Amino acid sequence: MGRSPCCDENGLKKGPWTQEEDDKLIDHIQKHGHGSWRALPKQAGLNRCGKSCRLRWTNYLRPDIKRGNFTEEEEQTIINLHSLLGNKWSSIAGNLPGRTDNEIKNYWNTHLRKKLLQMGIDPVTHRPRTDHLNVLAALPQLIAAANFNSLLNLNQNVQLDATTLAKAQLLHTMIQVLSTNNNTTNPSFSSSTMQNSNTNLFGQASYLENQNLFGQSQNFSHILEDENLMVKTQIIDNPLDSFSSPIQPGFQDDHNSLPLLVPASPEESKETQRMIKNKDIVDYHHHDASNPSSSNSTFTQDHHHPWCDTIDDGASDSFWKEIIE
DNA sequence: AAAACGCTCAACCGCTCTTTG
DNA sequence: GCAAAGAGCGGTTGAGCGTTT
């Protein structure tokens, strides 16, 4: 089905709504409800197309519209939901009472997107930007993530997995750096670059905190169910795993990559949904299970990765001392 | 003072999805 | 199963306003 013909009709007014038009629309909807939007303009005495009336009502005139600045909590919710759902503005709006999809979309494009960019986070993937960061940029994040262990009072398995993952990623990062940048003249190790890294890193660390990733009280399970993202539901139920999304330093393209915990980008979410629809989610979960470096395998408590064995023994603080030294 | 520039957000466009006959 | 109508969605536009030069 193509475009609705109502907007093609000539002679219908476009552009900003006048107070008189608003009053007519409000009055009519209050008395009769909106019924058929197409029929409404005529009944209400408006020289507008039904679509325009619907938009005006849903985005501006509806009595339950909440106007004014977004709160911190709302911002967090938008960012979190956007990392899960992508540009599904209506789905995001559904979880912010009184806010419209249009308003959220505008707020994202004008404020939140820039905010994330300034923090060194790619607003599309919700991962650290790799275009201007060297590989060491991820280290303090990983350390910070692992150190959250002490802040958590969650079940032991969860702690172990998250800490293990962070350590594994750090270890992997170090190995990568050492193997690919062992030339000390490499700009990646120049003092100036390190300084730049620190600047960006702090921004990224604060992103982690802002995301409430480790104390996330918001439960998005219902949204994910709505979106048929059952795999992610499992992940989100374990708030620790959430950190995998924003801090994945983009190593998954590498043949040595550690497994991703969840599809971190909207594109990957789509792929997950596609797999669910195609009933091959089991394959997704166990994708190339024999190969721990498989970039598509999900990391859950049910799966044991051989590479974990190499670092499980390093759960003590001495592990970090050794690494950092 | 005014031109240029940048930002915000209401509104529109064109597409897809859902419902109906 | 098909086509048409209706509704909804995400992307884009442009007027209005504030700030900078």
All domains of chain A, ordered by start, with CATH? 7-61 (1.10.10.60), 72-118 (1.10.10.60), 135-324 (no CATH)
Task: Judge whether residue A110 contacts strand B, using its CB and a 7 Å cut-off.
Answer: yes
Show the tokens assigned to A283: 């394959």
CB within 8 A of A150, min separation 6: which ones? none
Q: How far is CA A316 from the centre of its chain?
A: 31
Protein residues in reach of strand C (CB < 7 A): A 1, 3-6, 16, 35-39, 50-51, 54-55, 58, 87-91, 101-102, 105-106, 109
Which H or E element spans position A11? Answer: none
Sequence letter at residue A169: Q
pLDDT tens string, chain A, 325 residues long: the values are 333 334 444 678 888 898 888 888 888 888 888 888 888 888 888 888 888 888 888 888 888 888 888 888 888 889 888 888 888 888 888 888 888 888 898 898 888 888 888 788 888 888 876 655 443 444 444 444 444 433 333 333 333 334 444 444 444 544 454 444 433 333 333 333 333 333 333 333 334 334 443 334 455 555 555 444 433 333 333 333 333 333 333 333 333 333 333 333 444 444 444 433 333 333 333 333 333 333 333 333 333 333 333 333 333 344 444 433 3
Query: Which of A's residues 31-50 have CB atoms within 7 A of nucleic strand B?
Result: 48
Beta pairing partners, A121: A128
DSSP assignment string, A13-72 = --SSPPHHHHHHHHHHHHHH----TTTHHHHHT-SS-HHHHHHHIIIII-TT---SPPPH
Q: How far is the CA of A111 from the C1' of B3 (A)?
A: 27
pLDDT score recorded for residue A211: 40
pLDDT score recorded for residue A218: 54
Q: How far is the CA of A116 from the C1' of C1 (A)?
A: 48
In this complex, which residue's CA is closest to the C1' atom of nucleotide C2? A1
Show the tokens assigned to A245: 């999304």
pLDDT score recorded for residue A153: 37
The residue count for chain A: 325
DSSP assignment string, A210-265 = HTTTTT-----HHHHHHTT-HHHHHHHHSGGGGGHHHH--S-TTSTTPPPPSS--S
Are the C-beta atoms of A94 and A88 separated by less than 8 Å? Answer: no
A18, A4, A115, A104: which is closest to A61 by C-alpha?
A18
Query: Which of A's residues 4-33 have CB atoms within 7 A of nucleic strand B?
Result: 4, 7, 13-17
Show the tokens assigned to A104: 């959220």
Task: Judge whether residue A55 contacts strand B, using its CB and a 7 Å cut-off.
Answer: yes
- On strand C, nucleotides with any atom < 7 Å from a protein CB are 4-12, 15-16
The whole-angstrom separation of Cα A99 and Cα A66 is: 6
- Angle, helices A191-210 vs A139-147, to 10°: value is 40
Q: How far is the CA of A295 from the C1' of C21 (A)?
A: 51
Q: How far is the CA of A1 from the C1' of B15 (A)?
A: 9
The whole-angstrom separation of Cα A282 and Cα A285 is: 5
To the nearest 10°, report the CA torsion of A273, A212, A118, A252: -40
Task: Judge whether residue A68 contacts strand B, using its CB and a 7 Å cut-off.
Answer: no
- On strand B, nucleotides with any atom < 7 Å from a protein CB are 7-18
